[in-house]
Chains A and B, each alone.
Chain A
Amino acid sequence: MSKALLYDATICIGCKQCEGACAQQNKLPYDDKVAAESVQSEHKFTVVLTKDDKFMRRLCMNCEQPACASVCPVGAMHKTKAGPVVYDVWKCIGCRYCMVACAFSQPKYEWQSLNPRVRKCVMCPDRVLAGKQTACAEICPTGATKFGERDDLIKEAQDRIRQNPSTYLPRIYGLNEVGGTSVFIIASKNVEEYGYPASAKIGDTPMPEYTGQVMERIPDFIPVWTLVLGGIYWVSHRREEVAAAEAQEKAEEKEKKNGGAR
């Protein structure tokens, strides 16, 4: 069973303790200056945003079928059975295709480093494997970020929306977006207002399918195209041979005729 996170923006109090816990977990510096930053970066994997006294958290969605994992030429990113989408830095060659491909623009880069890494929330894989919650869920004082089984959290999100239809917008962001993610967001405001990509824009199709349609044809394409090219080569060179042979025949005939005349 895979794990997931449910973020309920209506109970978030904007204390930013998740930011601090995340930084500590990932051994990143965290002080007032970092806390004041309202964008995600290579040193800030999650951020709590404020708009009209309403809060919203941003973090990697840890997609069910992640674009980053499918595009990586060396397979440095992969989706674990437990839910987290993790990154093997020792494989990475630094092509940054994952950053370009991610619909949520979550992977960030250590641009200033001479041996740069891609950085993003990886959903605390060590903790999850050890049966613990993610750092952000554990520290959350109100339960706004909740860790649990993916299926259970979907049910819980649906129940909360059903029980308080006046509080929540009737949508669970992350349920169907790009084929489903491991982070669900329910809120009274649209997530798009905080910079999340619009559901209509990113669609419900898992991202890897867009390139998969092409990639899966390649194993068939290679032998067929090789045969076609080989065939063309053979035909055009066969013509040449035939022409040469004919020319020779003609020459011989001519010689015979000439010989006969003599």
Chain B
Amino acid sequence: MSERAYTVIGTRPIRHDGADKVTGRAQFGADLRLPGMVYGAVLRSPYAHARIRRIDVSRAASYPGVLAVVTAADLPEGPDRLLELVEGTLPLSYARANVLARGKVLYKGHAVAAVAALNRHLAEEAAALIEVEYEPLPPVLDVLEAMREDAPLVHEDLRMKEFGEPTGKPSNIGEHFRYELGDIEQGFAEAEVIVEREFRTVMVHQGYIEPQNATALWNQDGRLYVWTSTQGAFSAREAIAWILELPVSQVCVTPMEVGGAFGGKIRVYLEPVAALLSRKCGRPVKITMPRRDVFEATGPTPGTFIRVKMGARRDGRITAAQVWMAYETGAFPSGQCGFGATCMLAPYDIANLRIDGYDVVVNKPSTAPYRAPGATQAAFAAESVVDELAERLGMDPIEFRLRNAAREGTRRADGLKYQRIGCVEVLEAIKNHPHYKAPLGGPHRGRGVALGYWFNIGWYSSCTIAVNPDGTVNLVEGSVDLSGTRTTIAMQVAEALGLRVDQVHPRVADTDSIGPTAVTGGSRTTYATGWAAWEAAQDVIRQMKARAALLWEVRPEEVSFERGVFRAGDRSLSFAELAERLEETGGPIVGRGTVNPGSAGGSFAGAIVDVEVDPETGQVSVLRFTSVQDAGTAIHPGAVEGQMQGGSAQGIGWALGEEYYWSPEGAMLNSSLLDYREPTALDVPPIETVIVEVPEPNHPYGVRGVGEANIVPPPAAIANAIYRAVGVRLRQLPMKPSAVMEALWAKGD
């Protein structure tokens, strides 16, 4: 537990936006109404891979009620640059081509044209009148097939990079990287037990309930205003500006409330299209994505092929690990394989390892981050092998992990040396939890465990704090609030200033109103923006100390500030009392803070799962689930629990039922929430949570971001539990009932 005693941190206040959320007042992107607004609809490719021979928009353009039609021809051209994404960089030409296809369509659902009309129905009818002549090409749909020398090329101009250097080789492999520590030949030679297994996972979607949406107004003053459901107003601004060849300052992005994102709402899809339509018709244009398009045309997460080989001595020490992993990046290169490689063995101190990773393009939607991007697939493989290795050694799965646990000073696969981390603490919490030892009676029941890790990112955030005469403060920040960060950040300000939470008024601002702030993602928000807010609070304190010094005629260094009270000698003023006197001592005070931490302390997570398998049908029921995670310091324990439970439920869905089910031609057949099966309230049990607190060494309050690591353990934990329930190890996701049955039949019971 944290050593310091906090007043606000660790409490569970109701969020500042709570009343709006439960009364329907909160404004999500599709709720926006602007005078003169019209509606857009997007026409999308029916083919997974085809050349566009001809587009004829004339019938759509002349349809009654239609105000504008656009295609890729309406997008500007410009010098190619590298657009920053969370998961790497993407050539601007690719980002542009994803928004509206130029020359070729690269996945079924790829946007080809768009229409603006007086209402949505008219826009859809008109879009259907756009005639597109395609020349179908053979689609590349499997990651291993795509890597073959004779595979059709998705991009004629893509050249493979290897070990960070361009090779000039045309390929569907965007990048081949390698992480290497020690000497794996030596390591495997020392091993007395070796397990080598292959795993497959299928593309899945973040599954947020709110579809993408964007409203754009290309205003008469030449500025482009965009309201959108996004995780990052500033990253969206940059992407929109670059794609449209506008100066960044000419674009103002207002982030609306977001109905779930999980990494899938960082990229821009509709914004540039709505902007082009608005420019053509001179009116605000709103586009909302139908659910089918959300599945087919946004950024799901890669399907993968992963081979893991691990060796250990009989005393339980892992001596070597080798991984060969290939991730689909969808239609454009930029990938998450590296993240998977960084995280999959993170819980272990392994001296000898080699990971070869490949990011491979295929004719599927361009992949985007999904909560700990790349890590869940990799951990499914690694944690299953660890489980099997422990079993072969006759060791308890947690004892085996403790024997090899990463600690401060351990080297991660990519070479980084850990600072203080909570891996051992998470393992101990699992080991000591009643769930781990509870008897599990009944046939076909089993318990499994697994670990997960996400490194968390730092990046830049900016905040300002204005002091009100009544002693409350206005906090302005640029981090889009996905699930309550405006409150967790406000709590850090309240703690720093000795205020109550309700005395801090947080506001998430548009890109004109606050300094640049990186995306809400990477588990950075409570960490980095909280840190920036803390810096702004320190700035406020400094300035207010100077005012108190003026009033008391002492030097500012003689003024102290503790728990909301300024003191010098035997004189004191509370924050509110001093705030009342700001005007007479020089005027209003605004504090500011900007941070850009290079890295952040990562978060370890673990899961204990009990399952029951019906051996006659293959159905797997999750009976009991405990999520453990290192939060560093839990600012709002309820919010931390919520993250753990949400990520766990997503992990359960990923493990047992979610998948992109493909036709042979590369079309997703189950692009609805009926057949893309996200867990309902009946499909998950109550999710117990254990928050471990190993403070992050650099953050003022020891915060570790918690948004992501919790999704990583469930698939492996469930696979390990199924094994103990019915004796089969499943190595493909999802572990759906037919797959369980096939495994049971193969086992031949």
| Same complex | no
